Amino acid sequence: TDIYRPLSEVLNATPFQGYPRQVFLLTDGEVDNTDQIVKLSGQHSGSTRIFTFGIGRSASVVLCKGVARKTRGTCEMVRDSEQITDQVMRVITSALQPPL
């Protein structure tokens, strides 16, 4: 899964003035460059929060938790599709709160 390039484009774009940038990242596979993606995310932690969803058993827990932690977002690992509604609502509720 190529996450680095599109995430880099989003993070390097100029955010709307006066609004915090919040990104929702969904992934369902293993990523070869997890460390690079976590580092890139951390470089933008002052202006961006990233909320991650790892979908399915193949999603990288290290990537999802690392990116969310670096950017003051949250991570949800979606293993059971029946629970996705509750997990999405938790993340949206968190995104509406100011970062700590």
Name the phi and psi angles at 24, rounded to 5.
Answer: -110, 115
Going from N- to C-terminal start, the domains of the chain cover 4-95
The listed CATH number (3.30.565.10, 3.40.50.410, 3.40.640.10, 2.60.120.10) that belongs to domain 4-95 = 3.40.50.410
Record the pTM: 0.89
pLDDT tens sequence across 69-96? 999 999 999 988 777 888 888 888 888 8
pLDDT in tens, 52-63: 999 999 999 999
Distance CA 73, CA 81 (A): 22
Largest CA distance in the chain: 38
- Pairwise CA distance, residues 73 & 78, whole Å: 16
